[in-house]
Structure 1
Amino acid sequence: MSVEGWRTILVLGGIRSGKSEFAESLVADEANVRYVATSTLGEDDPEWAERISAHRHRRPEAWTTEEVGADPTRLTELVSAAGPDETLLVDDLGGWVSALLTGEATTAIVDLAGALGDCRAQVVVVSPEVGLSLVPTTDLGRAFADTIGIANQAVAAACDAVVLVVAGQPTWLKNTVAKPREEPLPEVLTPTVAEPPTVVEPTPKVVETPANGVEPATGDALTAPTMALPMVATGLVIQPGMDLPMPDEHAGPSASTRLATLDVAGAGLGALERVVTFAAATQGTGSPVPWRSVRVLLLQGDHDGGAAAGTTPGESARRADLARAGEGALARLAAEAGASLQVVEAPTAAPMELGPALAADAVESALRQGWRLAEQAADSGVDIIVLAACGAGTEAAAAAVLAATAGAEPAAVLGRVIAPGGRVNDTAWMLRCAAVRDAVHRTRHSSRGAKEVLAELGGGDIAVATGVLLGATARRTPVLIDGPVGVAAGLVSRDLAGQARHWCLLPDHGGHPAVKLAADVLGLEPLLNLRLDLGEGATALAALPLLRAALTLGAGLPAHPTLASDSA
């Protein structure tokens, strides 16, 4: 089955649209499939009988068949009685509705929808979509069209997912599918600063809300227009050239024009104007509002071998535990920003100088995990994601990705290794350089495709980060990046979906050579130059209050009186 964690799905389509074939493909991998045929044999119609025969020959021999054409009430009975280990394929509602036209169709439709809502089995229902055709010229034709339309609406409301098949191509109209078959995502934490006995929490100054303040847009993230939801909903492999959404190209310039009229004493927001135009484009409005719901995704995935030279064993796990406990720089900054924190364990990467860092199937799984993390954040109302990482060897892995995707010289993008206390460890730096050099040489004839780069060099944390960027792009959710893992994921994501980089914001490069080069390649100009080095993700959180302040001013300040009168 290509839909993860599915239970009930309605497959709509016109005549010869490929809807039946698509529905059959959905259950092809299920062990216990019962095919429910709703049409009669059609003894008086040889062509119809031939169609039914073709359907029968197409079904696997292991499937069992139930005929309900002579007694349409049996369909609801079969759905109600099906157990959790069964799969039903109902093909199709058109035949079922035809048999109901002589009886009480409305009651039967209501009963079927109720049975689907309560069903413990997996059910795929096929039905003709007749709403796009002309109104039938006969009484019977109009009765059928009206009844199948009512049935489709009732069944669609009861099903977890609805797909329309046109010319063999599925377009998903609804997706509320849960994913019970996936491994559970990490717990989302809301960290608080641990018992600061001598620190008094600051009390914000109360100010009057401007009369023309802009409230944030509301809406259901699942219903937001996107071409990516069908991809994850159907379980299709994340692949190069995906068509994901772009930010609104008109909202940014509109916001910039509005900023030029603000009633401020000075020249304006300076470099922070780009925060407002970025937020405008990603929010789709010329008057963007501050990000209020922030999710920090802390990726903890180590890299074995020379990439981790100079790191203390177990250090990344200690950092992750601190974050879970609400301690450490990242958790404290997250608490100060009112952000939720999610610690994500990524697969450990093998020594890249000796062989692939990650198996191909593990890359696929990591990409999907990252995508799901972004989806979960969007579903919970998060309006911006902060990408953080604390794995051992991440800088060397990012340098290898830069070498493979941007032609970088490893030694030029590997920052110096600083031990606790500020001591420089040049021996460890040379070991890291050697590991990256050997890995790049080992893969010199390998494909430079995104998944190949992740498998050979990038490893688990960069693969998960790439999935996060893609999933966030699909859900029109911006991402703050500020370290090697984030920018490496940005470089890899270009091959999969070039739109992803346009949803990324780089508050500060932190003086890191890999981040500076990757940002240049990605076209991401840092907003600040604080040169903080608090760990990946911490710089973004430290800058977040300033970014929010720029958005608050941009959204809340009125136009200068002279400009307002001119515009009037």
Structure 2
Amino acid sequence: MSEDRWNTVLVLGGIRSGKSGFAESLVAGAPSVRYVATAAGGEDDPEWQDRIEAHQRRRPQSWTTEEVSREPALLTELLLSASAGETLLVDDLGGWVAAVLDPSRQPNDDEADVAALAAAVRDTAARVVLVSPEVGLSLVPLNPVGRAFTDALGTTNQALAAVCDGVALVVAGQPSWLKGSAAPVDAAAPIEAAPPVVASRPIAMATPSTPAPPPPPAQPPAEPPAEPATVVVPLTTPEPQPSAALSESTMMLPLVASGLTEIKPGMDLPLPNSDAGPDARERLTDLDLPGAGLGALAEAVEFAAATQNTTTPRAWSGVRVVVVTGSRAGGAAAGSDEADVERRIAETERGEGLLGRLAAQAGADISVLRTAPVGAMEDGPVTVEDAVETALRDGWKLADAAVDAGRDVILLAAIGTGAEAAATAVLAATTGAEPVATLPRVLVPGGRFDDAAWMVRCAAIRDALHRIRQEPRGATDILRQIGGLDVAVATGLLLGAAARRVPVLVDGPLGIAAGLVARDLASQTRHWCLLPESGTLALVKQGADVLGLTPVLQTGLDLGEGANALSVLPLLRTAISLAASSPVHPALLSEVGDDGLDEDTDDEIDDEDTDVDEDGPDLSFNTAAFNTVNFREPGA
């Protein structure tokens, strides 16, 4: 058994319960993972293939995939041959049971196959996480084939639960440990006090420090004052008091009154509502909008709906722009003008400059956090582990401060030197991307590219990756070796925002790098992130693809980190407001057709649901709720 007290874990859950995402979070800290896929067939089913591809996109490219769908004995052999240093994720056992029951294998001793698998799980030297559908709460199938499958899967789940170190049940994205725990908390360990912020400056606000009630979604933001006020938002939180919950074995996030005790791989953060987003997008087809509707902006509507847990999301009324600054020594900063960077940071702190003007136009406030300089990545680790831990906490507290101030969305921005090189190195180290294909060119004032500086940055990344080729690749290792404190602060911000259920608009290399690192600490964080504009950088596009982030717009803006998102933010809010305030098309209120209703169901609807009065149609009736689709899934 490993030092964190588990070697094998069985993760159970129903359809769309989030079991696969939770299982992936348990192995996120492993240097490498062998993903064992059991799904078979579906080559002629586009929807099935889309589900498989969605699973593939959210897995790190450093993971390897092995197929065991055709012969059940392959999984048993794979487990027995795995070595002590390996980590395996088997997703899921439903596919394995279907292969066991394949008519072409009958007659066969299916119980012997289950017993052999359980013995292999018990005897394997590797760390193994197995995902399996929970069928014990479903209705008894009406046909013999269905009953045989549920009986066999139930028997398999029981056999594996008996030999695994831990068993977790995931319901609506929330795991409960039925046996053991993959992240036990040491009851004897003292609760660590929240460390101080690395370095902070006053926060320049584009609106007065006393917040006014937010305007209705359909109204534009209030005009900001001509002279922005300056206020200081405290980044410290009260010392959490000891709680009995901290002495129990649990995978729930170790938070007490917004304080945290430890940031480590396998954190259990909440997920947005997986049904609200698609339902909101489906609802757009019924709205009384001219032409083809909102087009690409439907992505923003779906995201807002999922994160707000409603099919009629409201436009974001309280926006906080968090600007993280950092500087690096060595080749990563080649071609940078530190004096010019400092000028732009100072302007932003005063609420001036490009970010200040755009924030004022959007009715957003700005929080600037300065991080300490870090070393050259080609020479050795850029910072120390304690500084990384502190920076992660500082980022978490930035998210806490935004939520406590009533903000409903955070926009992550950055100003500094060497961030592009650091983000390129993080992308290469975590996904295997080629640095020379993703490192942005070095642009100097006057529209001129400094190719000599670009080559120096490439060399620094090459040397850094060569230096860490045999080093661990965990999240904190990446931050300490090549990422730096600004990436660590941004990572902590994404984790804290997910914990507080507030969405984050990412923009630029730093946000993408932070998303890649945060994914290995808690895979749920990426579901709270939106990429408003793709920009022009291959680094951002490739990193976003790995994270599964689809850019809402592709306008070709290249204004710097945070400015692209701020520029298109008013358009996103307009689209969300239209989706919330537009009525259903009158033709769909009285006719059978595009709304998906048939003659039988239409007769059963109360008259009050379809009445049209002087205030307009009643939007409380959701026609999409009557459209049912049977889904199959490869894992969750």
TM-score by structure 1 length? 0.62
Partner of 2:626: none
Distance in structure 1 (CA, Å) of the matches to 2:194 and 2:456: 43
Q: Residues 165-200 of structure 1: CA distance to partner in whole angstroms, max 9, x if unpaired?
A: xx99889xxxxx99696678543321379xxxxxxx
2:263 pairs with one of 235, 238, 259? 238
Partner of 1:189: 204
Cα pair 1:279 1:288 within 8 Å, conserved? yes
Cα pair 2:199 2:370 within 8 Å, conserved? no
Question: Which AA in structure 1 matches 2:404?
Answer: D
RMSD over aligned CA atoms reads: 2.8
Give the percent of matched residue pairs that are identical in Structure 1 and Structure 2.
54
User: How is 1:58-457 mapped onto 2 (pairs within 5 angstroms)?
Assistant: 186-191=201-206, 227-228=252-253, 230=255, 233=258, 235-457=260-482
Distance in structure 2 (CA, Å) of the matches to 1:375 and 1:207: 24
Distance in structure 1 (CA, Å) of the matches to 2:320 and 2:390: 22
CA drift of 1:372 comes to 0.4
CA drift of 1:259 comes to 0.9
User: How is 1:541-556 mapped onto 2 (pairs within 5 angstroms)?
Assistant: 541-556=566-581
Distance in structure 1 (CA, Å) of the matches to 2:324 and 2:386: 19
TM-score by structure 2 length? 0.56
Question: Which AA in structure 2 matches 1:312?
Answer: D
From the superposition, tell whether residues 180 and 283 of structure 1 become closer, same or farther in structure 2 (CA, over 3 Å): same
From the superposition, tell whether residues 234 and 296 of structure 1 become closer, same or farther in structure 2 (CA, over 3 Å): closer
CA drift of 1:553 comes to 0.4
Cα pair 1:192 1:326 within 8 Å, conserved? no
Unaligned runs of 5+ residues in structure 1 are 1-166, 172-176, 194-205, 210-221
Question: Which AA in structure 2 matches 1:310?
Answer: G
Cα pair 1:462 1:488 within 8 Å, conserved? yes
Distance in structure 1 (CA, Å) of the matches to 2:568 and 2:197: 35
Cα pair 1:466 1:493 within 8 Å, conserved? yes
Question: Which AA in structure 1 matches 2:526?
Answer: R
Cα pair 1:227 1:245 within 8 Å, conserved? no
Distance in structure 2 (CA, Å) of the matches to 1:369 and 1:389: 15
Partner of 1:66: none
Partner of 1:69: none
CA drift of 1:374 comes to 0.4
| Secondary structure of the structure 2 residue equivalent to 1:457 | helix
Based on CA coordinates, which of the two structures has the bigger radius of gyration? 1
Cα pair 1:229 1:474 within 8 Å, conserved? no
From the superposition, tell whether residues 425 and 475 of structure 1 become closer, same or farther in structure 2 (CA, over 3 Å): same
Distance in structure 1 (CA, Å) of the matches to 2:259 and 2:309: 27
Q: Residues 504-537 of structure 1: CA distance to partner in whole angstroms, max 9, x if unpaired?
A: 1001121111101101111111111112111100
Cα pair 2:203 2:366 within 8 Å, conserved? yes
Cα pair 2:300 2:576 within 8 Å, conserved? yes
Question: Which AA in structure 2 matches 1:337?
Answer: A
Distance in structure 2 (CA, Å) of the matches to 1:208 and 1:239: 41
Distance in structure 2 (CA, Å) of the matches to 1:525 and 1:191: 30
Partner of 1:512: 537
Distance in structure 1 (CA, Å) of the matches to 2:357 and 2:217: 26
2:515 pairs with one of 465, 486, 490? 490
CA drift of 1:235 comes to 3.8
Q: Residues 201-258 of structure 1: CA distance to partner in whole angstroms, max 9, x if unpaired?
A: xxxxx9998xxxxxxxxxxxx9xxx954616856422000101000001111221121
| Secondary structure of the structure 2 residue equivalent to 1:482 | coil
1:558 pairs with one of 567, 573, 583? 583
From the superposition, tell whether residues 308 and 185 of structure 1 become closer, same or farther in structure 2 (CA, over 3 Å): closer
Question: Which AA in structure 1 matches 2:524?
Answer: Q
Distance in structure 2 (CA, Å) of the matches to 1:367 and 1:529: 31
1:536 pairs with one of 561, 576, 586? 561
Distance in structure 2 (CA, Å) of the matches to 1:335 and 1:232: 32
CA drift of 1:331 comes to 0.8
Distance in structure 2 (CA, Å) of the matches to 1:325 and 1:181: 24
Asked if residue 525 in structure 1 is aligned to residue 540 in structure 2, the reply is no
Distance in structure 1 (CA, Å) of the matches to 2:298 and 2:323: 28
Distance in structure 2 (CA, Å) of the matches to 1:355 and 1:313: 22
CA drift of 1:461 comes to 0.6
Distance in structure 2 (CA, Å) of the matches to 1:534 and 1:348: 24
Question: Which AA in structure 2 matches 1:385?
Answer: I
Distance in structure 2 (CA, Å) of the matches to 1:542 and 1:348: 29
Distance in structure 2 (CA, Å) of the matches to 1:453 and 1:178: 25
Question: Which AA in structure 1 matches 2:581?
Answer: G
Distance in structure 2 (CA, Å) of the matches to 1:233 and 1:387: 21
| Secondary structure of the structure 2 residue equivalent to 1:390 | strand
From the superposition, tell whether residues 274 and 235 of structure 1 become closer, same or farther in structure 2 (CA, over 3 Å): closer
Higher RCO (CA-CA < 8 Å; seq separation 6+):
2
Distance in structure 2 (CA, Å) of the matches to 1:348 and 1:544: 31
Q: Residues 261-287 of structure 1: CA distance to partner in whole angstroms, max 9, x if unpaired?
A: 110111111111111010000001111
Cα pair 1:191 1:325 within 8 Å, conserved? no
Distance in structure 2 (CA, Å) of the matches to 1:187 and 1:553: 36
Partner of 2:494: 469
CA drift of 1:317 comes to 1.8
| Secondary structure of the structure 1 residue equivalent to 2:321 | strand
Question: Which AA in structure 1 matches 2:204?
Answer: L
| Secondary structure of the structure 2 residue equivalent to 1:421 | coil
Cα pair 1:501 1:522 within 8 Å, conserved? yes
Distance in structure 1 (CA, Å) of the matches to 2:364 and 2:519: 28
From the superposition, tell whether residues 248 and 553 of structure 1 become closer, same or farther in structure 2 (CA, over 3 Å): same
Cα pair 1:295 1:342 within 8 Å, conserved? yes
From the superposition, tell whether residues 557 and 426 of structure 1 become closer, same or farther in structure 2 (CA, over 3 Å): same
| Secondary structure of the structure 2 residue equivalent to 1:499 | helix
Give the number of aligned pairs. 372
Distance in structure 1 (CA, Å) of the matches to 2:563 and 2:217: 29
Q: Residues 380-438 of structure 1: CA distance to partner in whole angstroms, max 9, x if unpaired?
A: 11111010001100000000001100101111111111100101100000000000000
From the superposition, tell whether residues 180 and 412 of structure 1 become closer, same or farther in structure 2 (CA, over 3 Å): closer
Cα pair 2:271 2:524 within 8 Å, conserved? yes
